Amino acid sequence: MERIFSGAQPTGNLHLGNYLGAIRNWVKLQSGYECIYCVVDMHAITIFKEPAELIRSVHEVAACMLAAGVDPKKHILFNQSRVPAHAELAWVLNCVARMGWMSRMTQFKDKAGKNRENVSLGLFAYPSLMAADILVYKATKVPVGEDQIQHLELARDIAVKFNNDYKCNVFPLPEPVMLGTSRRVMSLRDATKKMSKSDPSDYSRINLSDDADTIALKFRKAKTDPMPLPETVEGFEGRPEALNLVNIYAGVRDITTEEALKEVGGQEFSRFKKVLTDAVVAELEPISKEMHKIAQDTAYIDSVLKNGGERADALAQPVLNEVYDTIGFLRN
């Protein structure tokens, strides 16, 4: 059976973009693949985090994943730092990846901004740890949102270069999996930017933990334009806010943008926002309730992550051994 790997950073709560772009697909793909899902705490410290906050975030994000339907018995859910092979392979891949490849990463450029000299070396090397996450399990399918595609292409480049340099075929090439209309959910305040945990305004995103009233309020305040919704997709030209809200509607209903317009095309925003709120609440409310319940029980979450970590470790170690043998590291 083909193996899937994917991860999400423990930086506060997961939002609707994480859910529609990634986590919901993780859950769907559980029938048909062997899945390994990871809370990437080692990626999270590329930007300083208070230890207590990191622990809280790992619990929160793991609770979100469990509430959304990740099955930790049939599949694996763990936090990255439990499996040392990620860091060990990342070092090897650091020696394969080129500085030029890393400097072209748009996420690094965005996060570093004008402050390039002063960001951590870990932030620069972030994509090679991500490549290690995937390759240490020889995973071939990686469900992600559109913003991670460039990192995934880099993971493939690293795998190809490793195989070429060492004249071997150790790593299969991982492919992205993107399903549905919500590959890129945009901010509710500025539809030219993606919905993101790091946006200072909480009104820019719907958190999976938001209750129905908060979701309604955020959609009421969401930026729009004065015209009613278009009847066809061509009508979205120059109207990124309208497109984003309709795509969110299509996303939660799991239909195409065209199908969504058959239902809501031509509506005034005031009416559509109520329809949209109801659809989003119907999808998120059960998850949010379950999440709050699971989040209370940190002992349960820890036991899931520990068990997942042990099983992940058992899969990763033979691959790391194969890599070390290929490289010529003496170990006995």
Q: Among the candidate windows 52-60, 138-146, 268-276, 300-308, which touches ligand TYM by CB under 6 A?
A: 138-146
Distance CA 118, CA 124 (A): 11
Distance of CA 46 to the CA centre of its chain: 16
The 3-state secondary structure of 206-247 reads CECCCCHHHHHHHHHHCCCCCCCCCCCHHHHCCCHHHHHHHH
Residues tagged active-site: 111, 194, 197
Report, in Å, the least distance between residue 151 CB and ligand TYM.
Answer: 6
* Member of 29, 85, 130, 191 binding ligand TYM (CB under 6 A): 130
Q: What's 189's DSSP letter?
A: S
Q: Among the candidate windows 15-23, 256-264, 296-304, 320-328, which touches ligand TYM by CB under 6 A?
A: 15-23
Phi, psi of 63 (to 5 degrees): -60, -40
* Member of 13, 148, 244, 288 binding ligand TYM (CB under 6 A): 148
Nearer to ligand TYM, 136 or 271 (CB): 136
Distance of CA 215 to the CA centre of its chain: 21
Nearer to ligand TYM, 183 or 273 (CB): 183
Nearer to ligand TYM, 43 or 273 (CB): 43
* 185: three-class secondary structure by DSSP: coil
* Binding of ligand TYM by 18 (CB under 6 A): yes
Report, in Å, the least distance between residue 89 CB and ligand TYM.
Answer: 12
Nearer to ligand TYM, 69 or 228 (CB): 69
Q: Among the candidate windows 46-54, 143-151, 234-242, 301-309, which touches ligand TYM by CB under 6 A?
A: 143-151
Phi, psi of 194 (to 5 degrees): -75, 150
Nearer to ligand TYM, 144 or 222 (CB): 144
* Binding of ligand TYM by 85 (CB under 6 A): no
Report, in Å, the least distance between residue 42 CB and ligand TYM.
Answer: 9
**C-alpha closest to that of 102 among 122, 81, 117, 86:** 122
Helices (H), the chain: 16-18, 24-28, 41-44, 51-68, 85-94, 99-103, 106-112, 121-135, 149-165, 212-221, 240-253, 257-264, 269-296, 298-327
Residues in contact with ligand TYM, shown as a per-residue x/- string from 168 to 207 under the rule CB under 6 A: --------------xxxx--------xx------------
Contact predicate 72/302, CB 8 Å: no
Binding site for ligand TYM (CB under 6 A): 5-9, 17-18, 21-22, 40, 43, 130, 133-134, 142, 144-145, 147-148, 151, 182-185, 194-195
